[in-house]
Amino acid sequence: MAEIKAYILCRFALESRLYQSWLPQLPFPYEIVDEFPGHWQPPDDCGIIISHMHYRWDEVTALRRIYESRQIPILILADGILEFRNIFEHPDLANGAVFQPIIGHKLACIGRGQARIIESWGNVGKCEVVGFPRLDSLVNSAAAPINKSGPFRLLICSANTPAFTEAQRSSVLESLAHIKSRFEGNPLVNGRPTEITWRLTDGLDEELGFSPSPPREELPSLLETIDNSDAVITTPSTIFLESVLKGRPTAILDFHNTPHFVPAAWMINAPKHLNTILGELANPPTAKMLFQNYVLHDQLECSSAATPRLLKLISEMVAIGDEARRTKSKLEFPPRILADSNHGFARVETGFSMADLFPENSVFKNNDVGQLQLELNLAIQRMGEVPDQLFRLLQQLEERNERLDELQQRYNDTKARLDAAKERLKKWRNSAAAGKGTPPVEDGGDDEI
C-alpha cells in the first residue's frame, strides 16, 4: 500500500479535532485537498477519499461524480450527533443534504443509534459503527468526582451553533432566561447553594445580560469545565456525549419541542420541568443514570477507543478498492466491515444492579447465597403443595355451591307458598268486607309455611 495515498477533502483538516486524533496514525501517506471544487479529480495514486464535507453543491457534485464513475472508495465521517433542526429546519442547507442519501460508500457513524437513523433514510449497508476518535481520551478514563455536599456546581452551556433561524434563537434565549430567572429568585437546589458556570456561544451571554465571554483560548477547556461541575444542562449538542462520558448527570434544554435523535434521561422542554429536574440533577435517581449510560453506549461506540476501528475501516476499504481496480471488477463493499462485539445486542450496563434500582425492596439486598438457596428450596416445596391444596379448595367450593343451590331452591319454594298464602288472605278479607261470608278454604297441601 506504500504507493497509494489517502486524500482528505477538507482544507482545515490539520486544525480540526475531527481529523487530528487519527491522521498521524494512518498506515499510508495522506494529502490534504485545500480546494475542493465540483470538478476536482482524484490523482492516480488515490486509494481512498475521506471527508466530512457532504452538505454543499461543489462537495456533493465532486463526490457523486467520483462515486459513480471511479473505483475509488469514499468514506464520509459523521462530525457529531444528529440534530433534527439542523437536518429539517436549517434554511441554509438544501433538503436532503445531510445523508439523504450518503454520497459515498461508507459513513463512519459515532454510534449504532446514529447508524439506525441514517440507515432508515435509504442507506442500508453504508453505515459502520466506529465511534468518535476525538473523544478517545475520555474513553475508560477516570472521571473527576462529583460533590455530594457543599455547593452544587452546575454547568449551563450551548452548542456552537445553538440556532439556525431567528425563531429558534428566540426559543433558546427564552429557555436560558427561565433558568437565569429561577436562580435569581432561588439560588438553592435541594437546600444547597448553587455555583453556576455559564458557557454560552453566539452572543447569547450578552443578550441575557452577562458580561461578554473572554476569547475561547482564554477559557478553561470544556472538558476541564465539565470536570469542575456536578451536573450539566446543555442545548442539543455533542457536548451531551462529552458530559455523560465524564459521568455527569446531563439534561438537554430544548424549548423547540422537536424530535430528538439523541434522547436524555432529563429533558427540559418547558419552565415547569426546571425545578424537578434540578433536584434530580443534584441527586440523580439510579434508574435515570442507568438510562443515561444506556443512551451513551447506544449513541457513542465507546466501549473502547474509536481510532483503531476507524483505521481498520480505512485500511479494509483501501484493500477492497485496490482489489477491484486490479481485477477490473465492480467496487462493492459488505454491509458491515467492522465486527460488532455485541453481535447486535445492547450491552448490559456495568452499573446495572437490582438492589440500586429498587432500594426499598429488601429482596434485592440479600447477597447470602446459602440463605437464598434455602428460601428458594422452601418456596419450590411450597409451590409443589399448592396444586393439591388448590384442588381441595375447589372441591370445597363446589360442595358449597351445591349447598347454596339447595338453599336457594328452598328459599324460592318457601317464598312461593308465602306469596300464595298472602293472596288467599287478601281474597278472604275482600270477601268479608263485601258481606259474602267466609270463602271456601283452598287446599294448600300439607306443607308447612
Q: What is the pLDDT of residues 313-367, one digit of tens each?
A: 999 999 999 999 999 999 999 999 999 877 777 777 777 788 777 888 888 788 8
The model's pLDDT over 67-108, given as tens digits with 9 standing for 90+, comes to 998 899 999 999 999 999 999 999 999 999 999 999 999 999
Mean pLDDT of the residues in the chain: 91
| Amino acid at site 356 | D
Give the C-alpha distances (Å, rounded to integers) separating 303 from 23, 241, 339.
22, 14, 14
Q: Average pLDDT for residues 390-402, to the nearest whole number?
A: 92
Model pLDDT, residue 441: 54
Provide the grid cell at 212.
461578554
Q: Average pLDDT for residues 1-13, to the nearest whole number?
A: 85
Provide the β-strand partners of residue 155.
197, 232
How far is residue 39's CA from residue 65's CA, in Å, rounded to a whole number? 9
Grade residue 370 by pLDDT with cuts at 50, 70 and 90.
Answer: confident
How far is residue 327's CA from residue 331's CA, in Å, rounded to a whole number? 10
CA dihedral of 426, 431, 432, 434, whole degrees rounded to 10: 130
The model's pLDDT over 262-276, given as tens digits with 9 standing for 90+, comes to 999 999 999 999 999
How far is residue 306's CA from residue 258's CA, in Å, rounded to a whole number? 30
The model's pLDDT over 174-230, given as tens digits with 9 standing for 90+, comes to 999 999 999 999 999 999 999 999 999 999 999 999 987 777 777 889 999 999 999
Provide the β-strand partners of residue 196.
154
DSSP state of 233: E
Q: What is residue 366's three-state secondary structure?
A: coil
Backbone dihedral angles phi then psi of residue 314, each to the nearest 5 degrees: -60, -45
Grade residue 438 by pLDDT with cuts at 50, 70 and 90.
Answer: low
Query: 242 with 226: CB under 8 angstroms?
Result: yes
Model pLDDT, residue 1: 45
H or E segment at 129?
Answer: strand 127-129
Model pLDDT, residue 196: 97
Percentage of the chain modeled with pLDDT above 90: 73
Grade residue 256 by pLDDT with cuts at 50, 70 and 90.
Answer: very high
Q: Average pLDDT for residues 29-38, to the nearest whole number?
A: 87
Record the pTM.
Answer: 0.80
Model pLDDT, residue 435: 74
H or E segment at 370?
Answer: helix 369-433
Cα Rg of the chain (Å, integer): 37
Look at 405 and 39; give whichever has higher pLDDT.
405
Grade residue 34 by pLDDT with cuts at 50, 70 and 90.
Answer: confident
Percentage of the chain modeled with pLDDT above 70: 96
How far is residue 128's CA from residue 120's CA, in Å, rounded to a whole number? 14
Grade residue 436 by pLDDT with cuts at 50, 70 and 90.
Answer: low
Model pLDDT, residue 443: 53
Grade residue 447 by pLDDT with cuts at 50, 70 and 90.
Answer: very low
Model pLDDT, residue 437: 56
Model pLDDT, residue 278: 98
Query: 230 with 147: CB under 8 angstroms?
Result: yes
